[in-house]
A = this chain, B = another copy of it.
Amino acid sequence: MRIALLGGTGDIGQGLALRFARDTDHEVLIGSRDPEKARDAVDTYEENLESRGADADVKGFANEMAADRADVVVLSVPPYYAGDTVEAVADNLDSDTILVTPAVGMQGDEDGLHYHPPGTGSVTQLVAERAPGEVPVVGAFHNLAADALSDLDNELDLDTLLVADDDDAKETVRNLANEIEGLRALDVGPLANAAEVESVTPLVINIAKYNDDLHDVGVKFN
Residues of A within 8 A of B (CB): 109, 111-115, 157-158, 161, 186-190, 192-193, 195-197, 199-200, 202-204, 206-207, 209-211, 214, 217-222
Additional 17 contacts, C-beta under 8 A, given A115-B195, A188-B207: A112-B193, A114-B196, A115-B199, A161-B207, A186-B207, A186-B210, A186-B211, A187-B211, A188-B206, A195-B199, A196-B199, A197-B203, A200-B200, A214-B221, A219-B219, A220-B220, A220-B222
How many identical chains are in the complex?
2
Contact A192 B111 (CB under 8 A): yes
Q: A189 — which chain B residues lie within 8 A by C-beta?
A: 111-112, 206, 209-210
Q: A221 — which chain B residues lie within 8 A by C-beta?
A: 204, 207, 214, 217-220
Q: A157 — which chain B residues lie within 8 A by C-beta?
A: 222
Given A112-B189, A189-B111, A190-B111, are A206 and B217 neighbors across the interface (CB < 8 Å)? no
A194 vs chain B, min Cβ distance (A): 10
CB-contact partner of A195 in B109, B114, B161, B204, under 8 A: B114
CB-contact partner of A210 in B109, B187, B196, B220, under 8 A: B187
